[in-house]
Structure 1
Amino acid sequence: MKNWMVLFMVAALVTLVNQDACAWGKKKVENKREVVKPETPYEKLFKGKKCETAKGKFITLHKVGEKLYFELPLSYLERRMLLASTLTGASDNDLGEVGYKSNDPLHIKFTKTDSTIYMRLVNTAATYNEKEAGMRKAYERNFMDPMLKAYKIMAYTNDSAAVVIDMTEFFAKHNEMLPALPDNVGGFISVSASPNNDGFALRDIKAFDDNVSIKTDMAYKVSMSVLGMFTIRSNDPVSVRVTRTLLLLPEKKMRPRISDSRVGIFLTDKINLSTEEDQIQTYSLAHRWRLEPKDMEAYKRGELVEPIKPIVFYLDDAFPELWREPIKEGTMRWNKAFEKIGFKNVVQVLDFPKDDPDFDPDNLKYSCIRYLPSTTANAMGPSWVDPVTGEIINASVLVYNNVIKLINNWRFVQTAQIDPSVRNKKMPDEIVKESIAYVVAHEVGHCLGFMHNMAASAAYPVDSLRSATFTQQYGTTPSIMDYARFNYVAQPGDKGVRLTPPDLGVYDEFLVKWNYQPIPEAESMKEEAAILEKWVDEKAGDPRYRYGCQQVASRYDPSALEEDLGDDPMKAGEYGIRNLQYILKNMDQWITGDDDGEHKEALMESLMEQYFRYLQNVRYNIGGIYLTRVKEGTRGEKYQAVPKAVQKASLAWIIRQIRQSDWLNNRELCKKLNLQVSAAPIVQDVISGELLKSYKGVILSAHVSQDPYTLKEYFNDLYNGIWENTLKGKKLTSGDIILQTALVDMINGMVGEKTKKSSLFGLSKMASVEEMVAYGLDESGMMRKYMDILKNIEDEKGTDYVTRQIHPDAFGQGYGWQREVSVKAIDNSTTYIVALAYRIKSLLESKLSSVDSATKDHYKMLLLNLNRALKV
């Protein structure tokens, strides 16, 4: 009994111990399961993969092989951003500029519906009157934000604060919304880029507090053609590297500034929904940096204060050393104007940081001054804005290497008559620095939001430009934003005359005041606009503050031209031609060490182009109409025909110049150049064609004038001028022969049977290729490069064909160029042209028996064409 009891108790104890062990074991297993939790979709997405992560306060980027993931915080949904693509590297810089954004940044936001993230384009075309209850509904129904892309949510982060979406296709593949290459160059060269998928590779990723950047290598097969007619490249391999930046825009918006069409500021157009007027209202916002005083109270007391956020440019470390200081000087000279409105140290220039791994000149966050080793002879100053307010977010100054060649040619043909230091193949360092500073200051003006003002240089009397006192104070123009280059009016012997434009003109200082002076007393955008309008009203009628739009396609106003000086193009031209004759006479002795003659040939081309501009500047007087933005009730006229006497004198002046331009044929110099046609007949031929199309302007000019220069008078003056030596029985000059031939060709094209050239003499006011090149209207430089092809197209299609393809509606950026005015309803030119044909026919027939054999042959050829035209 006792033994049995002992055995029973032992067995029970063993059972109890075993039960406790199982229970402990189970508990241990259960605890282990709680520690090793199941993997989340977020963790599975990156498990076992080589992942490079760039983390910032904004968006986190994950690069997994060739995949790119955005980790987008939900707190940034509906926030507005700019998405920009910048060319970072290229195998062919003819197709794009490194550091440039060939397309405006996309203004986007992300939204979420269920399990999908949508990338939407923000529609900023319209605003509405918030006081009118129905306008918000109308706005929301009619101005939705269009959807660009939809992305499936791949995972939420473990804290559910952000979502992960796959952005590989958008950033690491060919994307038409973020093109790596432009679809055209210069507006007339079409570019077809077929992606080579083997050459696409995702590179660097970076993330910051308010932006992310992604670099991608891309490869294409590129074909190019001129207006679809001439193939210039076919399936050439091209590789590029691009940097895409997604930048968060500030939540607190800058107060916009409503533009004024009398002030040359870049702008963004808007419409406003309101019943305040009996129509949809249109207005524009000026482009401007957000410039606010650090200490508003000190600013109000009249003290100079620094801005909260200065305008900082980073200077490319690739620039030639000689250029660096003048670039800085030209950039920061705008601080003089800012100081006049109470700011100091506004514009700053810093070198590219050498020890900052986060710095990236192609990131939208940084504004830079970039060096482009290209044969293009140009510089640019583009900027990009927040479309809601017009706030400039980023700007770049792009300086092409061969701008130095352009400066060399300008300084020689415009100032060598008075400045011995430029009579060299290579410009002295001081001249280079002086000129580079001017070029950069002009481009920085664009970066500040300022458009070209081509009317500025017409404000100063021509003879004032020969005055040392006047030019030392005012330079050559009231605005550096004009294309008024160097002082070609100054004559040999004029002492102490300034040869360069001003550091900044009075108009430039007014631009800074209008665009950037804070107006703290104004409580709204409209109150501010009323104050600004009064500032402009006060300047109305003062030619120094007159704004003249750049006439890119249709050219009507002879006082708003590029590359001119002074208020009288005939007088300025006389001075300029005198200087060109002096320069040409001495060029061969001045320019030495040019064994192959290449530099002399380039200078000769520049001299011919300069002479062409002098003649063309006067030609614009014929049928010209002065155009001025005028507010009702202030001084000035919106449009005013060039006075009749000036038009008549201009016509006679040009014919005289064509007849007397044989001085261009410097035979000794030409022997040292490549085989080519002499300069005089080239210029005579081109300017004859320009002169004969002047009647198109005369039609409209006469129509709006109180004392018109009529078509009848124009054709009569044309007849008496072109046939003067024939009428007087004098020997014809080469200019006479070219003019007479051109006139008969025009008649044949107008009233004869249709020929290939008949379209040359339509009623278009569009610029020719010659004008586009001579006046710097083609910033790409490609029009000059393909001049021969384009002129052949003009011969086939008409003198306005090329320009019409580039600018089909004659409108452009800013307030728009003058629209081409149709004069079809009032055109009776055929009547006068037919009468002119019979008059010339009668004259030539009467002279056949009294001229030498060569002249007789010339007249017979003209009579043959006239008889064909008149069907005699």
Structure 2
Amino acid sequence: MKRLFYVFVLLCFTLNFASASDELWGKRKKKKDTSEKVESRDSTSKTSSESAYEKFMKEATVKKGMFNVIKKKDKIYLEIPKKLMNRDYLISSRVSSTSRTWQIDPGTINRTPLLITFSCDENKVYIHFPHLDYVCKESSEMYEAYKRHSNPPIWKAFKIEVMSKDSSNCVIDATPLFLSSIAEFSPFPDLPAEVRMIVPFGGSFQSDRSKIEEFKAFEDNIIVKSMMTYTTDKEGPLTTIEARNIIILPETPMVPRYADERIGFFEESRKLFDEHHDRLQQYGIINRWDLQPKDMDKYLAGELVEPVKPIVWYVDPAIPEKWRKYVKLGIADWNIAFEAIGFKNAIVVKDYPVDDPNFDPDDIHYNCYRFVTSAKENSMGPSWIDPRSGEILCGDVISWYGVVTLLNKWRMIQTGAVDPSVRCPVMTDENMGEAMRYVAAHEIGHTLGLMHNFGASAAYPVEKLRDPEFTQKYGTTPSIMDYARFNYVAQPGDLEKGVKLTPPLIGEYDKFAIKYGYQVLPNVKSADDEKEILRGWVREQIGNKMCFYGKQVFQFNFDPRSMAEDLGDDVVKANTYGLKNLKYVAANFVDWIAVNDEGYAAVESTYKEIIAQFVRFMDHAMVSVGGMYINPKYYGDPEPLYEYVPKAKQVAALKFVLKNLNELQDWIINDKVTAIIGPTAKHYVAQTQFFNELLTKEMLGRLQINEVDGKNVFTLDEYMGIIFDEMFTKKTGNLKLADMAFQNSFVENLTGYMDKGEFKSAGRHSLREWTNETTCSCHAYCESRHSFDAVDPLGEIVLSPRIDKSNKRPIVMKYLRKTYNTAKSRMNTGNEKTREHYRLLVLKLNYLFD
């Protein structure tokens, strides 16, 4: 399941594991982990004829493969053939195990694998980083100029310790590559500076407590595992086993396929120098597996054909069997989409083999679905690629135990009003299994190259989510890559009629995306050969809401179609249904789960999640206010690049939010909850913080764009007027604490726009997004591979002080004056607390008006 992180965003090599042979790139033979001990010789025999190489190899342990890996005492040496020096390689570092999971999780590759090449001279071996961002065809007249600024820089250099007897191989001491702190191999997550300022991530490498543990050599890769110890600021020592892989890449890369903004694939960006164009050309190539049919003629004739190299997944036996069988189903569900384009058994699912000594989940060739015993409520599915072509070489899925906890809470909170079977502290195996299957399918989608499609669920009319026939066929969304969890629109009685409460196995969009990425076309020698065919496929789907792709926006989201955790095409209508269910759950969940001590402990976390679900409903609605629909546009497409959300929808969304913020305290808390968790102000904090965000620079900036550019739009004046009426005009008599908080926030935010610090960034997004839990940690990876953000169209007005002041300040002053006059007129009304509140507001505004 997603980001952040945290594209991240979070990704390794495919293996068709058979009894006698593996095929990866070309014909890959069965791995042989060959080691031998080189015995010492009698020092009195033939010493004069003994070569330097033979002397060096005394008392060495050697494992033969692509490079021979040599261990002498506590050092690791690589014997690199000169004939392989100029080949391309990928080098990565995976955490195999760790002494704790607070910062580092077993199975993770926390830094993107590096593309490298080797070269040598008489004295040294060098590791280089090839350039990929900028390209130029060899046939171009400017190619020589391109080469002059594209020499691969040197990353590491190693002294040649000895040459083989025939001088065809160089032996280097590679210990520093495998047993030292290298930033590009850090096991610690690469988190934003804002997070590291608050949470102490990272540690200092301790060489005296580290050593080489194990090493292997095979025909196309080597693995060296090291025990690495770090000291951390607050948590003490941390010891990991880190497996560093070097693999050789195909001499001829896979033919790449062009990306298209109208469909969501991870991609590699390229900038092309070409004299046939008057400006630098920019394009992307998608991440995808190299699936080719065993029989091309039958494939092109429309028959189902197995691929030459199927995508083989190995499932961790540490996943309890009651869930593991559903995980396997979720992985295999993608065969539905591959069969639609002619591939049979494109994905094969196996358990970890117990009879193969060469199987190693740390080997970057194996695709493994791993389980981590951590309370982290998440899962992620990165993949690792050949960056030259976008070919996916390996997929990983990491599933933390805590995701079970999160699925339990979401299933009950979102559908408990409708489904009696989820009103319990422990889900039935069937209910949890179905949820785990969804998580597995979502994460495998990422490993196939697919980004989140947050626009998918907006395809469904809200009432269709209460239609038994429709939901049984289509589930809650047209894409498993959406964040559309469970059917919170369904109402009591709908389940008995046959309404489905869960997502589809594989959605209509998913099938189309797999077609775009994987359908094989005949006679393709370059990406240009298929470009127009692919664009034609996408153009055919314009207007088909089932195949709409909505980008994941990481800051300042304002397209109400592209949101996480939402359902349906009318957010106010869908979330009105959702709130009816949420109120029922809030009133009854304690009775459902507090049936023993374990249930008592779960009450507080469930209550927090109920508040979080309420905030999601409010967030969904606010995206419509000042919002616009964005359509990535290519020449000839009939849809406009952007359209503003109709004014009536914006007004309805704002009134929905204000009404429910005012009413929250009437239902969110009750004596059953407080009797277990004690007194709490969590709901108060949530509602007042959310109201505060209605007045940020980014929020008002969205309305300014509407007003400057649009017609018949929801103006900033109208927006402020509705808020003022709801929070001041309609609130008479004695005020509640939340009422006073809303009014104080209104004054403090608006007076901030009159100060010099007006244009400082609100800064709320990054930390909030990185600390919020979802069921997909690919968030960070997605963000790192994402080229679009709403800050781009917002930038002209939100970030322009001159336009900002001329447009915003007069409106701000108008409502500060209205607040001042209202507060003055009410200073002697209501109870003492209310009177003093109004007097305080007057004091705060005196400097502007008296």
- TM-score calculated relative to the size of structure 2: 0.89
Partner of 1:205: 215
Q: Which residues in structure 2 correspond to 1:76-91 (within 5 Å)?
A: 76-91=84-99
Contact kept, 8 Å, 1:256 with 1:285, in 2: the verdict is: yes
The yes-or-no answer on 1:700 pairing with 2:705 is yes
Partner of 1:20: none
Partner of 1:672: 675
The yes-or-no answer on 1:39 pairing with 2:41 is no
Q: Give per-residue Cα distances to partners, 1:487-521, cap 9 Å, x unaligned.
A: 01111111211110111111000010000000114
Cα pair distance change 1:127/1:404, threshold 3 Å = same
Partner of 1:853: 832
Contact kept, 8 Å, 1:471 with 1:498, in 2: the verdict is: yes
The yes-or-no answer on 1:328 pairing with 2:328 is yes
Contact kept, 8 Å, 1:811 with 1:819, in 2: the verdict is: no
The yes-or-no answer on 1:709 pairing with 2:714 is yes
Partner of 1:562: 564
Cα pair distance change 1:779/1:336, threshold 3 Å = closer
The yes-or-no answer on 1:55 pairing with 2:64 is yes
Partner of 2:32: none
Runs (5+) with no aligned partner, structure 2: 1-43
Partner of 1:498: 500
| Paired amino acid for 2:205 | P
The yes-or-no answer on 1:862 pairing with 2:815 is no
1:71 Cα offset (Å) = 1.1
Partner of 1:572: 574
1:773 Cα offset (Å) = 5.2
Q: Give per-residue Cα distances to partners, 1:461-509, cap 9 Å, x unaligned.
A: 1111111111111111110101111001111111211110111111000
Q: d(CA) in 2 for partners of 1:473 and 1:735? A: 44
1:780 Cα offset (Å) = 9.2
| Paired amino acid for 1:859 | Y
Cα pair distance change 1:335/1:777, threshold 3 Å = closer
Partner of 1:216: 226
1:772 Cα offset (Å) = 5.8
Q: Give per-residue Cα distances to partners, 1:712-758, cap 9 Å, x unaligned.
A: 222222222222324xx455455433322221221232336x7xxx6
SS class of match (1:188):
helix
1:438 Cα offset (Å) = 0.1
Aligned residues: 792
Partner of 2:260: 260
1:643 Cα offset (Å) = 1.3
| Paired amino acid for 1:45 | F
Out of 816, 841, 844, the residue aligned to residue 788 of structure 2 is: 816
Q: Give per-residue Cα distances to partners, 1:33-70, cap 9 Å, x unaligned.
A: 997751111001122x2x211112x1111111111111
Runs (5+) with no aligned partner, structure 1: 1-32, 224-232, 782-805
1:857 Cα offset (Å) = 2.3
Partner of 1:719: 724
| Paired amino acid for 1:600 | V
Contact kept, 8 Å, 1:217 with 1:240, in 2: the verdict is: yes
| Paired amino acid for 2:708 | H
SS class of match (2:184):
coil
Out of 592, 607, 613, the residue aligned to residue 610 of structure 2 is: 607
1:768 Cα offset (Å) = 6.8
Partner of 1:630: 633
Partner of 1:93: 101
Q: d(CA) in 2 for partners of 1:626 and 1:533? A: 22
| Paired amino acid for 2:651 | K
The yes-or-no answer on 1:165 pairing with 2:172 is yes
Higher mean Cα deviation, 274-283 or 821-830?
821-830
Partner of 1:269: 269
1:115 Cα offset (Å) = 3.1
Q: d(CA) in 1 for partners of 2:297 and 2:193? A: 49
Cα pair distance change 1:769/1:763, threshold 3 Å = closer
Q: d(CA) in 2 for partners of 1:511 and 1:219? A: 43
Partner of 1:826: 803
1:181 Cα offset (Å) = 3.3
Identity %: 35
SS class of match (2:405):
helix
Q: d(CA) in 2 for partners of 1:195 and 1:443? A: 32
| Paired amino acid for 2:352 | F
Cα pair distance change 1:365/1:329, threshold 3 Å = same
Out of 508, 515, 520, the residue aligned to residue 517 of structure 2 is: 515
Partner of 1:394: 394
Partner of 1:242: 242
| Paired amino acid for 1:52 | T
Contact kept, 8 Å, 2:105 with 2:372, in 1: the verdict is: yes
1:651 Cα offset (Å) = 1.7
Q: Which residues in structure 2 correspond to 1:399-438 (within 5 Å)?
A: 399-438=399-438
Partner of 2:372: 372
Q: d(CA) in 2 for partners of 1:725 and 1:185? A: 43
1:285 Cα offset (Å) = 0.7
Partner of 1:587: 589
Cα pair distance change 1:525/1:177, threshold 3 Å = same
Q: d(CA) in 1 for partners of 2:488 and 2:786? A: 30
Contact kept, 8 Å, 1:73 with 1:162, in 2: the verdict is: yes
1:615 Cα offset (Å) = 1.2
Cα pair distance change 1:772/1:484, threshold 3 Å = farther
Q: Give per-residue Cα distances to partners, 1:531-566, cap 9 Å, x unaligned.
A: 101100111122222211111123222221111111
Q: d(CA) in 1 for partners of 2:443 and 2:359? A: 23
Cα pair distance change 1:780/1:312, threshold 3 Å = closer
Out of 799, 817, 821, the residue aligned to residue 838 of structure 1 is: 817
Partner of 2:468: 468
Contact kept, 8 Å, 1:112 with 1:118, in 2: the verdict is: yes
Cα pair distance change 1:458/1:579, threshold 3 Å = same
Partner of 2:486: 486
Partner of 2:666: 663
The yes-or-no answer on 1:151 pairing with 2:149 is no
Cα pair distance change 1:780/1:452, threshold 3 Å = closer
Contact kept, 8 Å, 2:269 with 2:284, in 1: the verdict is: yes
Q: d(CA) in 1 for partners of 2:429 and 2:637? A: 48
Q: d(CA) in 1 for partners of 2:45 and 2:416? A: 89
1:679 Cα offset (Å) = 4.7
Partner of 2:73: 65
1:771 Cα offset (Å) = 6.1
| Paired amino acid for 1:43 | E
1:140 Cα offset (Å) = 1.5
Higher relative contact order (CA 8 A, sep 6+): 2
Q: d(CA) in 2 for partners of 1:36 and 1:719? A: 96
1:849 Cα offset (Å) = 4.2
Partner of 1:552: 554
1:340 Cα offset (Å) = 0.5
Contact kept, 8 Å, 1:83 with 1:247, in 2: the verdict is: yes
Cα pair distance change 1:850/1:183, threshold 3 Å = closer
Q: d(CA) in 1 for partners of 2:255 and 2:772? A: 41
- TM-score calculated relative to the size of structure 1: 0.87
Q: d(CA) in 1 for partners of 2:109 and 2:122? A: 35
Q: d(CA) in 2 for partners of 1:676 and 1:284? A: 54
Q: d(CA) in 1 for partners of 2:770 and 2:100? A: 25
1:776 Cα offset (Å) = 3.4
Q: Which residues in structure 2 correspond to 1:749-768 (within 5 Å)?
A: 749-751=752-754, 767=765
SS class of match (1:671):
helix
SS class of match (1:856):
helix
Partner of 1:18: none
Cα pair distance change 1:763/1:623, threshold 3 Å = farther
Partner of 1:802: none
Q: Once superposed, what is the RMSD of the aligned Cα atoms? A: 2.4
SS class of match (2:125):
strand
Partner of 1:23: none
| Paired amino acid for 2:510 | D
